[in-house]
Structure 1
Amino acid sequence: MAGQKLRFGAFIAPFHPLNENPTLSLERDIELIQHMDRLGYDEAWIGEHHSAGYELIASPEVFIATVAERTKHIKLGTGVSSLPYHHPLMLADRINQLDHITRGRVMFGVGPGALPSDAFMMGIEVAKQRDMMDEALDVLVPLLRGETVTKKTDWFTLNNARLQMTPYSRPSVEIAVASQVSPTGANAAGKHGLGLLSIGATSAGGFNALATNWAISEDTAKDNGKTVDRNAWRLVGPVHIAETREKARENVRFGLEKWLFYFREVAALPLAPTDGTDPVDALIASGMAVVGTPDDAIAQIERLQTQSGGFGAFLQLAHNWADFENTKKSYELMARYVFPKFQGLNENRDASLNWAKDNRETFMGQAMMAVGTRVAQHIEKKGTENIRPEILEAMGLGKKPDAAQ
């Protein structure tokens, strides 16, 4: 019997260096998801950012509405909507509308906001963002289930608020909470029985916190009379693969340094080595990234499964380290050689081939017997004197006469 399939997708911030045409960069993000849709990827999550010039999508909802019209199957999520930046009723209304126009293909990822510069421009205190996320989530969950909500905080008010349309997805659109190292996301997911998006799953801190954060989510869910499902847990990590490790390393030289500059100088995350060592070596050695072959990607996912205890989807962090053609090739190699390992796609094929191989002698004997029976029937009906010599030879019953005779 077939087991549960690990799902695959991408977490698309997106990251685009400043020497490229931003309009064409956005179009390329759409093309990437179309490519994923054709390859059989399950989901794509789209970020929300408003400053720093590198992560270009300001409205994941607008982007999702566009790409939904150009794809057939892939599910599309906000990755993530920054809750302190939006009045909860307005955000819930937009997500609910997307749920209807995509016929249930939308997912709702939420978080407190990743860039302090975004919050600064809006006059939001960074120290309050996580509390604001919790307050917003307290009302977003019932609103998206079609309930009526009244609540007043120091930054929003709801008076008998409800969405005009009942949800398309029941009981509501799927909701997932962003989590990195701190327990904030795990607590929020557990409180409401929601999914978990472990965005930094392969960083040292994020990897070490996987099991702990899931335990926090489970304990908090139990305390609030809820349950959480490992199948709704997504782990995110950067991957670029090629036919050989050498080719993969060559590919990522195209854009890796620009990506590292952004995180080193702007986002201020310690992802790049500062001791002069090769950054590709450092990313691989730390476990942060896969730059290699499909077998290396398989090993990384197995490592994450062991550390976490099990999860439902692996999301590639879209990074544009390679040029677009090699990026698409990497996604194709994932679909061709990594998906089958974790989705049991070839289990029946393996069983069928081995069964046929193990019984080949029996099957060939029966086939030869069937052929022999037909030959004998033909000879009996025609007589050997009425059958051309070349036909007798083909049947193994005679030798073709020499041309000189």
Structure 2
Amino acid sequence: MLRFSNFLFPESRDPDRDADVIADCIAEAKLCDELGVEVLWLAEHHFDGNCAYVDPVTFAAAVLTATKRIKVGFAVAQVSLHHPMRLAEEMSLLDNIGRGRVIVGLGRGTAYNVYEYQGYGIPHEEAGERYEEAEGIMLQAWTSPNGFTHEGKHWTLKVPRLRPTPFTKPHPYLIRAASSEEGALHLARRGLPFLMNVQTNETTAKRIALYKQTMTEAGFDAAHLARCLDETWVWRNIVVAETDEEARRIGIPAFEAMQEHRKTLREKIYAEQGIIMKRETAPPARVGIDSGLVVGSPETVAAKMAEIEATGVGGVICSFRLGPMPADAAASSIRLFMEKVAPRFAPKLRAAAD
């Protein structure tokens, strides 16, 4: 059974409209809660308007209080930009506010936007090692009722005890991002599920096959492997309309504009400073349909979801509001997806629809 979630990743090009876009996000969260979306994933990006609410930790608190059942996940919290004890406290608080509805998705931080590290005064070369050290600190904080000490490269800590203690025992549900094959196999050897970025179905199928092989070779049994696959997610941009033609009319220009906007500031920084972490090009729209954009009528999108299900991945992180797309167009797409696509893959939803 393929699982479905929404990646709430809203663009705001005009600083004067930030408040309106953030209000749209709360409305989208409530709609997803009403329609039975399993998880609402939040992003973290700074200084460029590519993610209007910027801080997913603060925004998650608003979403949790505005909704009743939907889980709120991070895809991901950029751990390298945070003090690990402050992040551990904040996640524990969210876990209590949502009474277990939080999914702590962790990653090192962006691999593209050097200005995010510059804005926080953190050398981007340290991102990976900061992430590794911080993750260990957070796990220790959540599971040490008598406090702990830590002496590492970036932090020296003497912590009496974390408060509030996590609602979920022994700690909030944790998942890691892996944007590369190497990262996915590292998590396979640890017996852990993971979050994947936008990619082709061929890449997803290959990665899942290697993940299964590696986990089996590491000694994990079939039941553990099945649980991990069920909890592994891949990201796709989704636009659903009544017809294929209408979906393409709405979706392809929005997708192209989104891709271009996301690289604009990093290219400006490169022109001014000569610094770039990783170059990213925006694919032509029709190539993007294969690599990251699923667009069409409910029947067309359902067929594409079946192809994703065949890769063996457990769930799809669907991003519905793309670039400058109006909020009402995204809401219509979400509603069509949940009413006419999702029930074909979930017995409970199918029964409710019948």
Whether the TM-score (by the shorter chain) exceeds 0.5 is: yes
3-state SS in 2 of match to 1:22 = helix
SS in 1 for 2:153: coil
In 1, Cα distance between the equivalents of 2:48 and 2:15?
14
Q: Choose which of 330, 333, 336 in structure 2 pairs with 1:327.
A: 330
Q: Is contact 2:208–2:313 with CA below 8 Å preserved after alignment?
A: no
- Give the drift of 1:218: 6.2
Q: Secondary structure at the match of 1:255?
A: helix
Query: Equivalent pairs: percent with the same residue?
Result: 23
Structure 2 CA distance, aligned partners of 1:189 and 1:120?
33
In the superposition, relative to structure 1, how do residues 166 and 110 fare at CA in structure 2: closer, same or farther (>3 Å)? same
- Asked whether 1:27 is paired with 2:31, we answer no
Q: Would you say 1:295 and 2:306 are equivalent positions?
A: no
> CA 1:91–1:30 in structure 2 vs 1: closer, same or farther (change >3 Å)?
same
Name the SS for the 1:183 alignment partner.
helix
> Equivalent residue for 1:95?
91
Q: Which residue of 1 aligns with 2:198?
A: 200
Aligned to 2:282: 271
Quick one: which amino acid aligns to residue 39 of structure 1? L
CA offsets 1:16-69 (integer angstroms, 9 cap, x no match): 334871110111111111111111101111111222232223321211111112
Provide the C-alpha distance between the structure 1 equivalents of 2:253 and 2:16, rounded to a whole number of angstroms.
Answer: 13
Q: Paired residue for 2:276?
A: none
Aligned residue in 2 for 1:113: 109
> 1:72-116 CA deviation, whole Å, 9 max, x = no partner?
111111221111111211110110011111111111111011132
| 1:317 matched to 2:328 | no
Quote the offset at 1:190 in angstroms. Answer: 5.0
1: CA distance between counterparts of 2:26 and 2:299? Answer: 28
Describe the shift of the 1:177–1:30 C-alpha distance in structure 2 as closer, same or farther (beyond 3 A): same
Q: Which of 19, 40, 43 is equivalent to 1:47? A: 43
CA distance 1:85–1:189, change in 2 (3 Å): farther
Q: Across the two proteins, how many residue pairs are aligned to each other?
A: 335
2:310 partner SS: helix
Q: CA 1:70 to 1:349, structure 2 compared with 1: closer, same or farther past 3 Å?
A: closer
* 1:206, distance to aligned residue in structure 2 (A): 5.9
Can you give the 5+ residue segments of structure 2 that lack an aligned partner in the other structure? Answer: 267-278
Deviation at 1:123, TM superposition (A): 3.3
Cα pair 2:320 2:333 within 8 Å, conserved: no
1:237 corresponds to: 236
Q: Secondary structure at the match of 1:238?
A: strand
Counterpart Cα distance in 1 of 2:295 and 2:99 = 37
How far does residue 297 in structure 1 lie from its aligned partner after superposition? 2.0
Q: Write the distance in 2 (CA, Å) between the matches of 1:288 and 1:96.
A: 33
Q: CA RMSD for the aligned pairs?
A: 2.9
Say yes or no: does 1:62 pair with 2:72: no
2: distance between equivalents of 1:186 and 1:144?
Answer: 26
- After TM superposition, give the deviation of residue 266 of structure 1 in Å: 4.1
Q: Distance in 1 between matches of 2:346 and 2:326?
A: 29
* Pair 163,214 (structure 1): closer, same or farther in 2 beyond 3 Å: farther
Which one-letter code corresponds to 1:317 in the other structure? S
Give distance in 1, aligned partners of 2:216 and 2:149. Answer: 28
* TM-score with structure 2 setting the length: 0.83
Residue 10 (structure 1) shift: 1.1
From the superposition, tell whether residues 59 and 265 of structure 1 become closer, same or farther in structure 2 (CA, over 3 Å).
closer
Distance 1:298 1:253, change over 3 A: closer
TM-score normalised per structure 1: 0.74
Cα distance, 1:120 vs. partner?
2.2
CA distance in 2 between counterparts of 1:173 and 1:306 reads 30
